[in-house]
Amino acid sequence: MPEAGDMAPDFELPSTAGQLRLQDVAGNKNVLLAFYTEDNTPLCSSEVSVFAEDYEIVQQLGAEIVAVSADDLESHKQFSAAIGGVPFPLVSDEDLTAAKAYDVVDEAGKRSRRAVFVIERGGRILHAEPWFQPGNPTQYEEIFRALGFDV
SS3 state of residue 84: coil
The burial class, CB within 10 Å (0-12 / 13-18 / 19+), for 86 is buried
Q: Is this prediction's pTM over 0.75? A: yes
Q: What is the mean pLDDT of each run of 10 residues along the chain (151 residues)?
A: 96 98 95 97 90 96 98 98 96 98 96 97 96 92 94 63
**Which letter, b or e, does each residue of 116-151 get, where b requires 16 or more Cβ atoms within 10 Å of its Cβ?**
bbbbbeebebbbbbbebebeeeebbebbbebbeeee
Which residues are part of the catalytic machinery? Answer: 44
Q: Which domains does the chain have, with CATH numbers?
A: 12-146 (3.40.30.10)
